[in-house]
Amino acid sequence: MVVEKNVPLQPWNTFGIAARAQQLVRIRSVSDLLAVVNDSALAPLPKFVLGGGSNIVLTGDVKPVVLKIEIKGLRLVEETARACIVEAGAGEAWHDCVLWTLAHGFPGLENLALIPGTAGASPVQNIGAYGVELQDRFESLDAVDLWTGQSFTLDAAQCGFGYRDSVFKHAPATPPDDGEGLPRSMGLAGRAVITHVRFRLPKPWKPVLGYLDLERRRLEAGIEQPDARQICDWVCEIRRSKLPDPAVVGNAGSFFKNPTVTPDQCADIIAREPRIVHYPMPDGSIKLAAGWLIDACGWKGKTIGKAGVYERQALVLVNRGQGAESVTGGEVMTLAKAIQTSVYERFGIRLEPEPVVV
Ligand code: EPU
């Protein structure tokens, strides 16, 4: 096992923030993880799991030991009359997983095309786009408990998926006290390292076209029954037209979650702001478009220091600097707080950041 010291993290976070890891270990297999767990110097130290770095804001050098997950591999593990189960190593790039499944004739992930990040990070925030969330295509995952070195498997219910949420985003409540070592509390952040993820791709395949932008593309193209590759292409085109490419302009995707309100609260806001974009949810709550709220407060295209609000989608904060002159995590959070304050003052709604602030 090689412990790298003082490692620049700028190439490994999509915001392009300049920060360093005091110690970093590359994890290419489960045995690499066990070597960390069994190392007397590393074992007691806090850990930070780094996937594609596409959902983090680094506010300084990272003191916990960074575990950079590079476990590879894509394979079909099972095919039944009702589904194909595909397994990905946690370090596979997410979009490569989508393309691999389509190329091998296992459709189902196409609405999630072009999302930055890794397969291992996909359950952490339950990635979602264009009418599909990871939980709709999730079978199970394997992880290693850093406190005990034990491997374990979780199904969807055990992952506690919510909107951009799972057990992997919450801190563990208590150390294991039962001597058996299996995680007992709900939170697994910094404790469990996902090594493999399995996706359930239902048969027969059915397109998911309900999202307005996708339906518009379908009508424009005049295609009655698009196949999964066609939908993948449309999703890529829509994303490229709305969202900045992190390779060109640093960003972490949507910076805030879309907030939910009660129907009463929504009626109250509509009375004041008739044009507000809102969607009724199956549980009776109403989801509001955070991008619209931020846009309505005049933030689109604005900049504070080197942190900016993207011109084409107000929900995305971007790095207006580059290289050594890149934005700092502090600047990003200052802008985020200013946005939260103005949205709260105008609409009485508290926006919750989506990326993990490190
Ligand atoms: N809108 C504005 N102004 C803006 C931005 C948006 O008026 O500056 C309006 C749009 O016109 C639209 C509505 O707000 O009516 C929603 O916008 P959009 O369709 O772009 O989707 P979103 O709600 O902003 C969510 C996800 C995205 C995902 C898209 C497509 C969250 C936090 N974001 O964005 O996910 O790609 O839907 O499904 O749920 C991500 O999580 O990083 C992400 C990019």
Mutate to test the pocket of ligand 1, among 56, 209, 254, 354 (most ligand atoms within 8 A of CB): 254
| Average pLDDT value for residue range 282-309 | 96
Query: Are 74-202 and 251-357 the same fold in CATH?
Result: no
Q: Look at residue 181 in the predicted model and tell me its pLDDT.
A: 52
Tell me whether residue 229 is one of the annotated catalytic residues. no
Q: Which of 1.10.1670.10, 3.30.300.130, 3.20.20.70, 3.90.78.10 is the CATH number of 251-357? A: 3.90.78.10
- CA 258 – ligand 1 centroid, Å: 8
DSSP result, 62-111: B-SEEEEE----EEEEEE-SSEEEEEEETTSBHHHHHHHHHHTT--S-GG
Which has the closest alpha carbon to 154: 178, 181, 125, 188? Answer: 188
308 has which bridge partners? 303, 318
Q: Which atom of ligand 1 lies closest to the CA of 354?
A: 32
| pLDDT tens readout for residues 163-189 | 999 999 998 876 554 555 554 457 999
Answer for the pair 329, 19: CB distance below 8 angstroms, yes or no.
Answer: yes
pLDDT at 195 over 80: yes
Pocket of ligand 1 (CB under 6 A): 129-130, 242-243, 253-254, 257-258, 277, 289, 291-292, 295, 300, 313-315, 354
| Average pLDDT value for residue range 140-144 | 98
Pick the catalytic residue from 137, 164, 191, 200. Answer: 164
Q: Look at residue 172 in the predicted model and tell me its pLDDT.
A: 87
Q: Look at residue 183 in the predicted model and tell me its pLDDT.
A: 47
| pLDDT tens readout for residues 50-94 | 999 999 999 999 999 999 999 999 999 999 999 999 999 999 999
| pLDDT tens readout for residues 297-348 | 999 999 999 999 999 999 999 999 988 899 999 999 999 999 999 999 999 9
pLDDT at 162 over 80: yes
Question: What is the architecture of the domain spanning 74-202?
Answer: 2-Layer Sandwich (3.30)
Tell me whether residue 185 is one of the annotated catalytic residues. no
Q: For the structural domain made of 3-69, what CATH number should be given?
A: 3.30.43.10
Which amino acid makes up residue 251? N
Percent of the chain with pLDDT over 70: 97
Tell me whether residue 254 is one of the annotated catalytic residues. yes
Domain boundaries, the chain: 3-69, 74-202, 251-357
User: Which residues make Cβ contacts (< 8 Å) with residue 293, sequence separation at least 6?
Assistant: 259, 276, 343, 346, 347, 349, 351
